[in-house]
Structure 1
Amino acid sequence: MGKGYRLTAATGIHKGDREYQQDQVALIAHPRVSGCVLAVVADGMGGRSGGRKASDQVMMTAKQLFERYSPDHDDAGVLLKQIAQEAHLVIKLTAIAAEQEPHSTIAAYLINPAGDCHWVHAGDSRIYQFHGNKLVKRTLDHSYVQTLVDAGQLTEEEANVHPQSNILMGCLGAEEDPPATLHYVPQLRPGDVLMACSDGVWHYFSHHELGSVLSSLSPREASEFLIEKARSRGRGGGDNLSLVIVKLEPLEG
């Protein structure tokens, strides 16, 4: 039985209005298994080199562990949790050596050849799943304002413009173990779109806007459009931006 879809994908990254790039993004095709991909976004924090070191560590850890992953024998959720945990420890060790305080978010999703999909995130980099232009699910940030939203003290809209919206309650490289939250999609379908992105991107869009952009444009066009639009909405004060989009296009015929 065929899967009924093909994957199209793109990554986008821009330093925005910052002097240096601390975000990192990767879309990794499995070295041995076709139809198996891992998408990763990491938003590094902690001084010029500290943040970049931290997001680099996330990428290196993800690549190394994914190369050893076997879709037939291994549990993708366990792998993603392991990536978050190992990257966290490596970042903490870097901090001791460098006397900086590097931290990083992670937002990663893995698509298996059978069409099941697994997510992990820590911090305020997000993963969105749309079907057509409708939001199916998104991650909830490990942030101070999200705890206020959960408690009913702020709306989503208010949280976005709250002065403390950048305060994280958990990430990789901090003292405490990271809150690595997992999510599982049993079966992706043609018409589904997945996007992982840093807060430099999602901060500037409602999910209605994201849905219409992702459903109507190719991943490459959508990533260029979202970066350009976020930059103009940031009016010179925007953060680094990174995103990775995977679209499940229906097969013709």
Structure 2
Amino acid sequence: MSQYKIEAGTAQHIGDRSEQQDRAALFSAPKAPGYMMAVLADGMGGRSGGAMAAEQVIRTAKQNFDLFSPQTETVEEMLKVIAHEVHTLIKLTGFSAEKQPHSTMVVLVITPEKSAIWAHVGDSRLYRFNGPNFAEHTIDHSYVEQMISKGKLTRSEAKNHKLANILVNVLGSSSTEPFATIGRHDGLKSGDSFLLCSDGLWHYFSDAELGAALAMNSPRQASEMLIKKARERAAGTVADNCTLVIVKLVTPPQEQRNYTASKMGRAI
């Protein structure tokens, strides 16, 4: 019997924007039983360009996962292919539509071998928790993160820096080829959880707050709570789209054995 079962869900809020340009989805793999994928994309580019780019992330991820087989490629290889194909398709779409669409991407794959493998481009994040305890999150591909790594900014200064929304690595860029940063965690167990989210959510929470919300609630309850609190904390500003995916590994229910004896009929 599996030591855990997967509970997952997605949620969105348009914030104070005129259009929802984030996208999120959950998929299973037809050719790879036991594998599941969570995808989140934050589109940028004005008008419908951002939504178009984010849709392309979801579509390309699903197409590649539908064809994925662990016999012929690794998850890491598939994730890099997804990023490359999305980048190319977004650029082509931008040329034909005379727009400048861009998108971030964060993708998580859970395997039946109890491994989690992920990739991200941009500042949409993946958080990993052990129960309520924060374990790690992806490092944004942003200007302020570069400044932090060089010791020119502290993390508290970076959060509200005027250039905090400037990204140095995005899908669809006309000037640079994007790269996908790959992460991995083996030995998954019941109590582990993952949060994929856009900057419209993570900007308003500490790591500890996010861990507590996921540990104490179902994915649906945690999603509702986090979006409500993000809206409260964004009051007085023009809040961005807010999107998240929650994946929790929980202990499966115990099988109830029935030992009730029933009276046997006498054979004649």
Structural mapping, 1:1-253, within 5 Å: 2-174=1-173, 175-235=175-235, 236-253=237-254
Deviation sequence 1:16-61 (CA, Å, 0-9, x none): 1101010000011223544311101100000111101100111110
- Structure 1 CA distance for aligned equivalents of residues 223 and 247 of structure 2: 11
RMSD: 1.2
Q: State the AA in 2 paired with 1:53.
A: M
Q: Which amino acid aligns with 1:223?
A: S
Deviations 1:151-178 (A, max 9, x none): 2222222211111110001110002111
- TM-score by structure 2 length? 0.91
- TM-score, reference length from structure 1: 0.96
Whether the 8 Å CA contact 1:71–1:112 is kept in 2: the answer is no
% same residue:
47
Cα distance in 2 for residues equivalent to 1:21 and 1:115: 34
**Letter of the structure 1 residue corresponding to residue 147 of structure 2:** L
Name the aligned partner's letter for residue 140 of structure 1.
Answer: I
Q: List structure 1 runs of 4+ shifted beyond 4 angstroms.
A: none
Render the CA deviation track for 1:113-151: whole Å, top value 9, x for unaligned: 221111100000000000011111110000011111112
1:164-207 deviations in whole A, cap 9, x for unaligned? 11000111000211121001112211110011110001000010
**Equivalent-residue separation in structure 2 for 1:57 and 1:29 (angstroms):** 18
SS at match of 1:48: coil
Q: How many residues align?
A: 252
The residue number in structure 1 matching 2:261 is none
Asked whether the 8 Å contact 2:121–2:169 carries over to 1, the reply is yes
Asked if the contact 1:142/1:179 (under 8 Å) is kept, the reply is no
Q: Which has the larger radius of gyration?
A: 2
Q: Which segments of 5 or more consecutive residues in structure 2 lack a partner in the other structure?
A: 255-268
Structure 1: state its 5+ residue gaps: none
User: In structure 2, how many angstroms separate the alpha carbons of the residues matched to 1:71 and 1:227?
Assistant: 36
